[in-house]
Amino acid sequence: MNIGKRSVHGQRRVTRRKHRAPQQAVASSREGTSAVGEKPLPHSHSFHRPPVPAVPAPESAIKRAAFKQQQTESFKKAVAANKTAKAALKKIAYTRGRKYSREYHGAEKKLVTLRRQAATHGNFYLEARPKVAVVTRIRGIAKVNPKQRKILQLLRLRQIFNTVFVKMNKPIENMLRAVEPYIAYGYPSLATVRAMVYKRGFLKVNGQRVKINDNQMIKDKYNNPDVVCAEDVVNQIYTCGKHFRTVTHGLWPFKLAPPAGGMRQKRRHFVEGGDFGNRDTLINRFLARMI
């Protein structure tokens, strides 16, 4: 049937409606039969493809998966064991810290009592000589004679503002006296030792300078049941314990900053208003400006 439609220019154009098959024929063709008879139409996709047999995985892939699973299980076990060990070490460190605190408090209280008893009878209490000294280098390498240079190397004071702890005895006193124009030294307090270990402490691990981050590093470094945490290190240094030499040589020489506010006259002795020489307990105020 021709139906007239207007074109763009206003003229009628003839269009033809496409012939559509009846709905019954379309439905029959979809069901596989023709519209007239019951003869089935051929289906091009009606056959079933035979199943493909599964290919076994390569032996290398199987071994790789088994190894990965084993590694995962081993890693989980190691993490659990490490967590348990850290918890146990934390408990030990806390217990020892409290024990050392009671010892320090008891020693200080005893010292005060002895001083008061001596003052009551009009006397002075003569305290024991300090066992530990802290030595810091305050001058560089200019005009250092070979003997003094060698002594500074033995004391591990190779750079300016390097600081070490030493056990006070006659040979050490002679060495300090020989290099006195290049160093400042005195007797550290507990607060000074603790601040230096916690803030400026580095271990010597395989010739490398490694920052102390946790107690496990200290335990692995010294491998000593008496030195397993930072408080053990502080106690051995402050009280000059039986492991003093092992502990101090396991630590890298402390590298301190220049003193805040600068120095007065490092070419003059401390008793003359300068900086070098023995400062006794006043060394703690000097180091507090450098830590």
pLDDT at 19: 52
Model confidence over 24-48: pLDDT tens digits?
544 444 544 445 555 555 555 556 7
Angstrom CA distances, 151 to 121, 139, 217, stand at 46, 14, 31
pLDDT at residue 71 in the model? 83
Bridge partners, 165 (sequence order)? 134
Provide the β-strand partners of residue 166.
Answer: 133
Backbone Cα Rg of the chain? 44
pLDDT number for residue 195: 96
Strand, helix or coil at 102? helix
3-state SS of 130-178 is: CCEEEEEECCCCCCCCHHHHHHHHHCCCCCCCEEEEEECCHHHHHHHHH
User: Each residue of 146-173: pLDDT tens digit?
Assistant: 999 999 999 999 999 999 999 999 999 9
Tell me how far apart the alpha carbons of residues 87 and 148 are, in angstroms, rounded to a whole number.
48
pLDDT for res 11: 54
Residue numbers of the chain with a pLDDT score lower than 70: 1-47
**pLDDT at residue 43, rounded to an integer:** 55
Q: How far is CA 161 from CA 60, 156, 185, 194, 282, in A?
A: 59, 11, 12, 18, 17
Q: For the purposes of burial, counting CB atoms within 10 Å of the CB of 232, is it exposed (0-12), middle (13-18) or buried (19 or more)?
A: buried
